[in-house]
Amino acid sequence: MNMEREEAFRRARAWIAQAGDHHIDGKRVAGSGPRIAVVNPATGEQIGSVAGGGAAEVDAAVNAARDCFRSAAWRDMLPATREALLLRLADLVELHAAELAAIETLDNGVPYPMALAMAGKGGPSAIRYNAGWARRLGGEEAAPSVPGRWHAYTVNQPLGVAGLIVPWNAPLAIACNKVSAALAAGCTAVLKPAELAPMTCVRLVELVHEAGFPAGAINLVNGTGPQAGAALAAHRGVDKISFTGSTVTGQGIMRQAADRVTRISLELGGKSPVVVFDDADLARAVPGVGMGIFANSGQVCAAGSRLFLHDAIYDEFLERLAGFAGSLKIGPGEQDGTMIGPLISAAQQAKVADFVAGAEAEGARVVFRSEVPDGPGYFSPLTILDQVHPDMRAVREEIFGPVLCVMRFGAGESLAELIERANDTDYGLSAYGWTSSLERAQVMARDLGAGSVKINGSGMEFALPFGGFGQSGLGRENARMGVLAFTETKAVMIGY
Ligand code: NAI
Ligand code: MG
């Protein structure tokens, strides 16, 4: 087992050291711009580099995607063939899960067991789920009431070339999802990884080719957001941008998309509420709430970062939560037993620390703060704050770090008032409730303002759409909706 793991890291290191080029029209392209360092956030060491693409590489990649999209081979490919190719891709991801996981751990810091769960289970499962839609995207027949004899129906046609912009917090999982949804719908695509953790995207594109997709179906351009990302979002040959990342960058993409009314899907930030009632099963709620904010060091768009705790269990819950947080081993993701890795970068580390310092200066109390390992990695203490006010920056803004803000409710407060407090956010990605009352569960499910509401649990289900209310985004990924988001609906009437 451990030898297998060591071997995976050895191979991952060797692969990273020589990969990092663009992949355009089925070929590796080094590009001309200065290369960007690939850094292991657990050590701060450079472990490789990626090409620094810009407008020229994006243009070549979009043209390759467009040529492939227009080709007879792609147009005439049977949906069943696309499905079969995607199923082969899922098998390849699964087969290479240990190596992919090691690459992810080295590049973005996620603990190896979590990376392995993504590469070995979550990723392949998402690809297989989307593969199934390739053959099930048919439209519907209408019964027109205009005079005459008509055959009236809809078709869901692929949009064309999709630009897929991926963030650094869970690159492989997000790329598996976006790539498979685009291909299932019949689009071709240009993938733009995050410059802070690009490597699993590059490996995934190699596997896309190994699976047998034609050259140009999926292209990859490395580079920074302002250079490669912006060039992709602005390109006239791109029909759809599917973006996951910060709200600010998403807003910029939305503005840019207005020029050509480019289709967009935006998965943005969150500040998701968690409500724990005094009738909750605390044995499940404590680790559920804890992992909901601390998993992936809080670098999760759907992290439950605002905890509303019932008066009657307030002290007990916080004590148990602190105990749980204290049991989570922080360290390099490569190390055996690590549950929490570093943050992605020194900048992210400073940003998180600044949020906490700001809250403390405004009177927040530190209920718990964990020890962090010494050394050069970008580790951040797991932090629980209470005595916070709803207008503090730490309560309003996405921290994207392991910081939980706790607020009290109970005594004389109605469920409606509580829900109003939980909904007091510009975001609306997810909301979580813990209770054994069917009544409270139903009311929370109905009234919490979020794209996903989970009662007594957390995690993601591909068969359900995922996306945000408010400033958490636009459109939905996953489920049938997520694949249809890469199509345009056409209405057809044939008179006879
Ligand atoms: P970002 O949104 O700038 O980066 C995400 C992706 O967008 C990367 O691939 C980046 O290269 C690309 N990008 C950046 N600028 C672009 C532009 N002008 N046009 C097109 N693409 C562009 O996020 P960043 O700056 O790395 O992280 C800052 C904060 O954003 C985090 O602290 C966190 O709060 C939030 N964030 C949220 C994510 C989520 O899943 N909700 C994911 C990543 C970041
Ligand atoms: Mg990195």
Q: What pLDDT is recorded for position 1?
A: 54
Atom of ligand 1 nearest to the CA of 256: 19
Q: Which residue CA neighbors atom 25 of ligand 1 most closely?
A: 246
- Please give the structure tokens belonging to residue 153: 């129906």
Q: Which residues line ion ligand 2, judged by CB < 5 Å?
A: 39, 107, 197
Count other Cβ atoms within 10 Å, centred on residue 171. 27
Ligand 1 pocket check for 246: Cβ under 6 Å: yes
Q: What pLDDT is recorded for position 33?
A: 85
The phi, psi pair for 487, rounded to 5°, reads -125, 165
Contact 179, 483 (CB under 8 A): no
- Band of residue 2 on the pLDDT scale cut at 50, 70, 90: confident
Q: What pLDDT is recorded for position 252?
A: 97
Whose structure tokens read 């055959």? 151
* Ligand 1 centroid – CA 71 distance (Å): 33
Q: How far apart are CA 423 and CA 416, in angstroms?
A: 10
In this prediction, residues 392-412 reach a mean pLDDT of: 96
Amino acid in the structure at residue 275 = V
Q: Which residue CA neighbors atom 13 of ligand 1 most closely?
A: 225
Contact 371, 352 (CB under 8 A): no
Ligand 1 pocket check for 226: Cβ under 6 Å: yes
- Band of residue 259 on the pLDDT scale cut at 50, 70, 90: very high
In tens, the pLDDT along 128-138 reads 999 999 999 99
Q: What is the DSSP track for 50-73?
A: E----HHHHHHHHHHHHHHHHSHH
| CA 70 to mean position of chain CA atoms | 30
The number of residues in the chain equals 496
In tens, the pLDDT along 432-488 reads 999 999 999 999 999 999 999 999 998 888 999 999 999 999 999 999 999 999 999
Q: Is the pLDDT of residue 209 over 70?
A: yes
Task: Classify residue 476 by its DSSP letter.
Answer: -
Q: Is the pLDDT of residue 374 over 90?
A: no
- Indicate the range of 63-67, 270-274, 369-373, 457-461 predicted with least confidence: 457-461
Q: What pLDDT is recorded for position 376?
A: 92
Characterize 187-199 residue by residue with b for buried, 16 or more Cβ atoms within 10 angstroms of its Cβ, and e for exposed: bbbbbbbbbbbbb
Q: What pLDDT is recorded for position 453?
A: 98
Q: What pLDDT is recorded for position 90?
A: 98
In this prediction, residues 128-154 reach a mean pLDDT of: 97
**What is the β-pairing status of strands 22-24 and 27-29?**
antiparallel
* Ligand 2 centroid – CA 170 distance (Å): 12
| Residue whose CB lies within 8 A of the most ligand 1 atoms, among 38, 57, 58, 400, for a mutation test | 400
Ligand 1 pocket check for 126: Cβ under 6 Å: no
- Band of residue 412 on the pLDDT scale cut at 50, 70, 90: confident
Conformation bin of residue 452: beta by default, left when phi > 0, alpha when psi is -120 to 50: beta
* Ligand 2 centroid – CA 67 distance (Å): 32
Q: Is the pLDDT of residue 357 over 80?
A: yes
- Band of residue 411 on the pLDDT scale cut at 50, 70, 90: confident
* Ligand 2 centroid – CA 168 distance (Å): 8
Cα R_g (the chain), whole angstroms: 23
Ligand 1 pocket check for 340: Cβ under 6 Å: no
- What's the CA dihedral at 224, 230, 232, 233 to 10 degrees? 140
Contact 26, 119 (CB under 8 A): no
Ligand 1 pocket check for 305: Cβ under 6 Å: no
In this prediction, residues 131-149 reach a mean pLDDT of: 96
Is the pTM here over 0.85, yes or no? yes
Which residues lie below 8 Å from residue 445, measured CB to CB, with a gap of 6+? 433, 453, 455
* Ligand 2 centroid – CA 40 distance (Å): 5
Ligand 1 pocket check for 200: Cβ under 6 Å: no
* Ligand 1 centroid – CA 47 distance (Å): 22
Q: How far apart are CA 201 and CA 20, in angstroms?
A: 10
Contact 198, 172 (CB under 8 A): no
Atom of ligand 1 nearest to the CA of 244: 40
For residue 265, what are the β-bridge partners? 242
Q: Is the pLDDT of residue 21 over 70?
A: yes
| Residue % of the chain over a pLDDT of 90 | 97
Contact 389, 395 (CB under 8 A): yes
Catalytically active residues are 267, 301
Ligand 1 pocket check for 53: Cβ under 6 Å: no
In tens, the pLDDT along 169-199 reads 999 999 999 999 999 999 999 999 999 999 9
Q: Which residue CA neighbors atom 36 of ligand 1 most closely?
A: 246
Count other Cβ atoms within 10 Å, centred on residue 206. 16
Q: How far apart are CA 251 and CA 270, in angstroms?
A: 14
Considering every ligand atom, which ligand is closest to the CA of 226?
Answer: 1
Ligand 1 pocket check for 166: Cβ under 6 Å: yes
